[in-house]
Amino acid sequence: MALLTGSVITEIKGLLNDPTGSIYPDQALLPILNKAYRELQVKLGAIGVGTTREVISTLPIPAGLRSLDDGSGLPTDFLYPVELGERLAGSADRYAKMEEREWEPDERQMDSLRYWSWREESLKFVGAVTPRELMLRYIKTLIPLTDSGTPIQISESQTWLAQRTAALAALLLGGNPSRAEALTTDLYSANGPWEDLKATKIKRLQNIPVRRRRTRWRVS
C-alpha cells in the first residue's frame, strides 16, 4: 500500500504536540514537507541510492552562452546532471561527450563547448562561437506533494520525513528552536531515523544489480 502525504502530516503534528493542526495546519506544513522531501532525495542520491530515474533532454545553446540554470533553459524537473554531449545546432552529427570539470577552464571560446561544470545551481560552460545543441542526461525530481492524497515515492521514508519536517516547522513556524534542535539531534543520532533508513536502503541496494555513478547534487 502506498504511503500517502496525509499519513506523514499526521505524524508531523504528533511530533509537534498539535494533533488537531490548530497551530500547524496542513497548508503551512506542505511546503516544508516538500523541502524535506527534496532534501531526502538529494541525501539518498549522495550515498548512491537512487530515488528517481535518469532522463535525457536536448537543449539549444546560443553562441557565447556560458551558463544554464532554473530560470534560463534547464528542464523544470531537473535535479542534477549526469552526463552532457554536444553537436552543432541543426546538424545530424553524433553527440560528442563533453568533459566535466570542477571549474570551467579559463580558455578562449572555440567552435565547440568542450567542458562543463555544475556549481552554484548552474551548468557552467566556457562557451562556443557557434550555436550548439546540448544532450543533457540528468536525474529528475520527484512529483511535488500537493495534498494529503499525494503518494510518497520514497519507500520507508515516513519517519525521517515526519521528523525532519517537524524540526523545520518548529523552527520556522513555531519559533521553538529548542524543540527543533531536539528533533534534529535525534534524527541523526546513531540509532535515529536517518541511520535506520540509510541501512535499509543500502541493504536493499546490495541485493539488486545496479550501474553506479558518482553523483552531483543540488542543494535545496
The reported pLDDT for the residue numbered 79 is 81
The reported pLDDT for the residue numbered 202 is 86
The reported pLDDT for the residue numbered 126 is 95
Calculate the CA 72 to chain-centre distance.
18
Sheet with strand 78-88: strands edge to edge: 54-61, 132-140, 78-88, 96-97
At residue 71 the predicted structure's pLDDT band, cuts being 50, 70 and 90, is: low
Q: Is the pLDDT of residue 210 over 80?
A: no
Least confident of 17-21, 127-131, 200-204: 200-204
Name the CA dihedral angle for 65, 69, 72, 78, rounded to a multiple of 10 degrees: 120
The reported pLDDT for the residue numbered 137 is 92
CA distance 46 to 29: 26
The reported pLDDT for the residue numbered 52 is 67
Q: Is the pLDDT of residue 211 over 50?
A: no
CA distance 120 to 134: 20
Count each helix (H run) and each strand (E run) in the chain, helices first.
Answer: 5, 8
Find where cell 552543432 sits: 88
Q: Is the pLDDT of residue 207 over 70?
A: no
The reported pLDDT for the residue numbered 214 is 40
CA distance 83 to 66: 17
The reported pLDDT for the residue numbered 120 is 85
Q: At what angle do helices 193-206 and 177-187 cross, to 10 degrees?
A: 30
CA distance 42 to 119: 15
End-to-end CA, the chain: 29
Q: How confident is the model over 91-137, as pLDDT tens digits?
A: 999 999 999 999 988 899 999 999 999 988 899 999 999 999 999 99
At residue 147 the predicted structure's pLDDT band, cuts being 50, 70 and 90, is: very high
